[in-house]
Structure 1
Amino acid sequence: MKTTNLNTNTIEAMFKQLKFNFGGTITKASKEYILDIKNEIGNGNIKGIALQGGISYIEFDMAFSDDVVVSVDTPNKNPIYFAYCSEGSLGHSFGANEKKRTLENFQTGILTSQLGDVNKLYFNKNERSKITLISVQTSNRTKANGKDNLKGKLLDTFFNEDAKENFVYIGSQNLKIAEKIQQLNAIKQKGIVGNLLVQGLVHVILALEIQQHAEDKHRQIPTGSLTMRDMELIKKASQFVKNNYHKQLSIPVLCLEFGISPSKLQEGFKGMHGRTVAEYIREVRVLKAEELIKTTDLNISEIVYSIGFSSRSYFSKIFKEKYNCNPKDYKDAQKVSPISA
């Protein structure tokens, strides 16, 4: 077993320590750090970015060659960690002696040490794990600018200064968070635009984790009948739709492709996307059409057929429902040149 100790309050210092322990190559784009690792220790990458309001986003997408423990100490900060497991599993404990808990595929976790204990993360040998950690610093509580801002609400909900035990919550499975993390990884923009997009999605993920905690606590939402295997298949089916939007897609086609029943397919899409299968396919196509209108010289009819629709009038109807503008007017608006001062 390999143990790595991280003792730092900054993303930059954390990645320097990760590189010292795991090797690899660090690249920095805007405020994001990426450590690519391909050696005897493991294969994959670790990403991290510091956001506004004392929030940091870290993602492990790694397969280690041995059991690995990452011991994280953030002096005087006492962060609240919001964890999500997209693939594999993650073990966690506070210090060496406290009970170890495991976050499985699609599960959420909220972790904070009231006593300032070290957070220990456990990665299994030869297991591909994709783990998201969003940390919110809890130092300077009195400077949180009131209880109405995000940090103030998080502190009041998950951090009791008088508590004598650490706070640990391991939630039920959540497919919606997996979708948002996919969107986060798909961001191509750099600089201020990329940072704003990341910041926005990280806040959405935080909101979904907090919502999950509230629903689990009050048991307002049934867990449904989906198994872990079913949820993984729903994730793959969703990506299949995104990659094959131009093909003739339907519930029978997806059920045959992924070996899942129609009822479970519908349940999974409603849970992950808040839409039926047909609605999701339509949404993916309309989004792609909007992209093609903006970035290509294809006319509307060519775009309609290229995204898998056969009726231009039907496409115009659903496009207008989404954007409150018919596609021809939208395309004509793209030709307007900016006015110089």
Structure 2
Amino acid sequence: MKEVFISAKNTREIIEQIQQSIGGEIIDSFGKSRLVINNNVAKGTIRVVTFDWGVNLMIFNITFYDEITLKIKATEFNPVRFIYNLKGEFYHRFGINSHEEMVEQFQTLITTNKIDGFDYLKFKKDLELDINIIQIIRKDFLKKRTTKVSSLNKKLQNVFVDTDYENRFAHYGALNLKMANLVKRLHNVKAKGMVKILKMEAKVYDILSLHIQDYNKQSQGVALPTSLVKSELKRIRQLGNKILKDPSRDYNLDDLSAECGLSQAKLQDGFKFLFTRTVTEYIRHVRLESARELMRTTDLNISQIVYSIGFTSRSYFSKIFKEKYGVTPNQFKKEMVSKVSEDAI
């Protein structure tokens, strides 16, 4: 086992201190720093992106070949960390505790420490990790005009205004599969330079909002559907992604239930929990969103689009499209053509 001591004044120093302990090369480019490691200790990257108002991001895409523990001292740089575990697992504890809490795949953790306290993050060896950490520097973040911590749950509000770092806080969240899609999009932003930073920042705030919503729900006692276990929810999420990628298939409840090995009642419970829609509503939503995107990006006519996404009736499609978006498909298509013409002038 290898222990890495971190006593950093900023996020960049965190990866510098990790580099000093386990090696690798730091590459800087336009507001981003990346520690690249490929040795007998680890293989992968730890990325750092700094935004305005005390918000920064760390992304661990790495496999450690030895058990690694980060021993993080709470210095004057003592952020609130909003952690989402997209892949793998890790363990967290405060220095005053001997008991470790496991943070499993798709689970969240919100944590911060008292000044001069220690956080321990332990990573098992030979386990592929994909971990997203949003760090909020409270003194800077509270200066932002749109920051209104008074609207937060009282406990979380107290965490944000504790700029003297007098209290410890840890919240081990429930399984959150909705956040997985947001985190994946963040990790796969394709733009370059300033455009990439701006796109990433927008997604970071979306994820931060979901962390806060998740905390509020659990504080109010909102739990997972009692009819489902976590492994079943993961199967339902995979099914939802399959529908998203191929909306034109002729889906029905019997086939979907057989495909994921769950009863129709469990399937409905899972879709309502993960996507806030029934199975039928979700399929319809995905098809309408796909149709709208095709109208934006292709020259296909309405009839071609209707049948390419799995609808069999153009009149039904037009009816539900207007109900959802407030305009008919023809009106929307004309608006897109008009916008393209204006942009070309």
TM-score (normalised: structure 1): 0.83
Equivalent position amino acid for 1:149 in 2: T
Q: Distance in 2 between matches of 1:140 and 1:194?
A: 23
Structure 1 residue 284, shift from structure 2 partner: 1.6
Equivalent position amino acid for 2:225 in 1: G
Which residue does the alignment assign to 2:105?
Answer: 105
Structure 1 residue 262, shift from structure 2 partner: 1.9
Structure 1 residues 316 and 6 mapped into 2: Cα distance closer, same or farther (>3 Å)? farther
Which residue does the alignment assign to 1:218?
Answer: 220
2:74, 2:115 within 8 Å by CA — same for their partners in 1? no
Matched, 1:62 2:62: yes
Which residue does the alignment assign to 2:173?
Answer: 171
Structure 1 residues 60 and 277 mapped into 2: Cα distance closer, same or farther (>3 Å)? farther
Q: Distance in 2 between matches of 1:243 and 1:170?
A: 32
Structure 1 residues 250 and 53 mapped into 2: Cα distance closer, same or farther (>3 Å)? farther
Equivalent position amino acid for 1:224 in 2: P
Q: Distance in 1 between matches of 2:322 and 2:168?
A: 51
Structure 1 residue 246, shift from structure 2 partner: 2.1
Give the % identical residues.
33
Structure 1 residue 319, shift from structure 2 partner: 2.1
Q: What secondary structure, in the 3-state scheme, does the structure 1 residue paired with 2:284 have?
A: helix
Structure 1 residue 253, shift from structure 2 partner: 2.6
Which residue does the alignment assign to 2:147?
Answer: 149
Q: Distance in 2 between matches of 1:279 and 1:7?
A: 50
Which residue does the alignment assign to 1:305?
Answer: 307
Structure 1 residue 242, shift from structure 2 partner: 1.6
Larger CA deviation: 183-192 vs 244-253: 183-192
Q: Distance in 1 between matches of 2:205 and 2:143?
A: 17
Structure 1 residue 306, shift from structure 2 partner: 1.6
Q: What secondary structure, in the 3-state scheme, does the structure 2 residue paired with 1:52 have?
A: coil
Q: Distance in 2 between matches of 1:126 and 1:211?
A: 33
The CA RMSD over aligned residues, in Å, is 3.2
Structure 1 residue 191, shift from structure 2 partner: 4.9
Which residue does the alignment assign to 1:267?
Answer: 269
CA deviations over 1:89-126 (Å, ceiling 9, x no partner): 22112348653222123322221102332332111222
Structure 1 residue 174, shift from structure 2 partner: 2.5
1:81, 1:111 within 8 Å by CA — same for their partners in 2? yes
Structure 1 residues 15 and 60 mapped into 2: Cα distance closer, same or farther (>3 Å)? same
Structure 1 residues 288 and 34 mapped into 2: Cα distance closer, same or farther (>3 Å)? farther
Structure 1 residues 114 and 326 mapped into 2: Cα distance closer, same or farther (>3 Å)? same
Q: Distance in 1 between matches of 2:296 and 2:22?
A: 43
Q: Distance in 2 between matches of 1:36 and 1:281?
A: 41
Gaps of 5+ in 1: none
- Work out the number of aligned pairs and report it: 338
Structure 1 residue 250, shift from structure 2 partner: 2.6
Structure 1 residue 278, shift from structure 2 partner: 1.5
Gaps of 5+ in 2: none
Q: What secondary structure, in the 3-state scheme, does the structure 2 residue paired with 1:335 have?
A: helix
Structure 1 residues 119 and 20 mapped into 2: Cα distance closer, same or farther (>3 Å)? same
Within the candidate set 185, 209, 212, 2:211 is matched to 209
Q: Distance in 1 between matches of 2:130 and 2:93?
A: 18
